[in-house]
Chain A
Amino acid sequence: MIKQRFDVIGKPRRRVDGRAKVTGQTRFADDIALPRMLHCKLLRSPLPHAEIESVDVSRAQRAPGVHLVLTGKDFPIAFGILPVTQDEYPLAPERVRYVGDPVAAVIAKDELAAFEALDLIDVKYRPLATIATPEEALATETPRIHDYGERGNIHRLQAFEFGDVGEALERADHVFEDLFFFEGNTHLPIEQHAAVAAVDGEGKLTLWSSTQVPHYVHRMLARVLRVPAAHVRVVAAPNGGGFGGKCDVCNHEAVVAKAALVLGRPVKVCLTREEVFYMHRGRHPVLMKFRTGVTKDGRLTGMHLQTLVDGGGYGSYGVASTFYTGALQTVTYELPRYRFEGARVFTNKPPCGPKRGHGTPQPRFGQEVQLDKIAERLGLDPAELRLKIVAKPDSLTANWFRIGTIGLAECIRRVVDRSGWKAKHRKLPAGRGVGIACGAYLCGAGLPIYWNKMPQSGVQLLLDRSGQVTVFCGATEIGQGSDDVLAAIVAEVLGIDPFEVRLVTGDTGLTPVDLGSYSSRVTVMMGHAAIQAAGEMRERIADAAAESLEVSPERIVLAGGRVFLADDPSRALSFREAVELAEAKFGTLGAVGSYSPPRPPARYKGGGVGPSPAYSYTACVVEVEVDEATGWITVPTIWIAHDIGRTINPVLARGQVEGSVYMGLGEALMEEQVFRRLPPKLSHALVHKIPSMLEYKSLTALDMPEVVTELVEDPDPNCPFGAKEVGQGPLLPVMPALANAVYDAVGVRIDELPITPDKVLKALELKRQGKTPRVGPDHFPAVPYPAPIVVPPPWEGGDGNAVKGRERKTEAAAAS
Chain B
Amino acid sequence: MTAAASRIPVPRANVRLALRVNGEAHDVLAAPYKTLLEVLREDLALTGTKHGCELGECGACAVLVDGAPVLACLVLALECEHRAIETVEGLARGPALHPLQAAFADLGAAQCGYCTPGILMTAKALLEREPDAGRERIKEAISGNLCRCTGYQQIFEAVEEAARRMRERA
Contact = CB atoms under 8 A, between A and B. Distances in A.
B105 interface: yes
B108 A700 contact: no
A707 B52 contact: no
A47 to B, nearest CB: 10
Contact of B154 (A31, A481, A654): A654
A711 to B, nearest CB: 13
B12 to A, nearest CB: 9
Contacts of B42: 33
Main secondary structure of the interface of A (DSSP, over half): loop
A164 interface: no
A272 B54 contact: yes
Contacts of A23: 48, 88-89, 91-92, 97, 101
A192 B52 contact: yes
Interface size class of A (residues with CB under 8 A): 35 or more
Interface in B25-73: 41-42, 45-55, 57-58, 60
Given A478-B112, A659-B111, A694 B55 contact: yes
B151 interface: yes
B150 A22 contact: no
Nearest to A694: B57
Interface stretch (A139-147, A233-241, A601-609): A233-241
Contacts of B108: 15, 651-652, 654-655
A480 B51 CA distance: 20
Contacts of B51: 30, 192
Contact of A662 (B54, B112, B115, B150): B150
Contacts of B24: none
B52 A662 contact: no
B6 to A, nearest CB: 4
Contacts of A803: none
Contacts of A692: 53, 55, 57
Given A652-B108, A658-B151, A21 B156 contact: no
A196 to B, nearest CB: 13
Contacts of A801: none
A116 B155 contact: no
Contact of A190 (B91, B143, B148, B154): B148
B106 A240 contact: no
B47 A24 contact: yes
Given A658-B154, A707-B153, A663 B139 contact: no
B147 interface: yes
B19 interface: no
Contacts of A655: 108, 111, 149-151, 154
Contacts of A112: 6, 10
Contacts of A240: 50, 52, 112-115
Nearest to A270: B51
Contacts of B49: 24
A489 to B, nearest CB: 19
B112 A239 contact: yes
A26 interface: yes
Given A651-B107, A692-B53, A190 B114 contact: yes
A651 B110 CA distance: 11
B133 interface: no
Given A22-B110, A23-B101, A28-B114, A659 B45 contact: no
19 contacts: A24-B47, A24-B89, A25-B48, A28-B50, A30-B51, A31-B41, A33-B45, A46-B2, A118-B3, A272-B54, A651-B106, A651-B107, A652-B111, A658-B151, A662-B148, A663-B151, A701-B140, A701-B142, A701-B155
Interface of A: 14-15, 17-28, 30-31, 33, 43-46, 99-100, 112, 115-116, 118-119, 187-192, 238-243, 272-274, 478-481, 651-652, 654-655, 658-663, 692-694, 698, 700-702, 704, 706-707
Given A23-B48, A243-B148, A701-B140, 20 more contacts: A15-B108, A21-B105, A21-B112, A21-B113, A22-B101, A23-B101, A24-B88, A27-B47, A31-B47, A100-B1, A116-B6, A119-B2, A238-B113, A240-B52, A479-B111, A693-B58, A694-B57, A701-B143, A701-B155, A702-B143
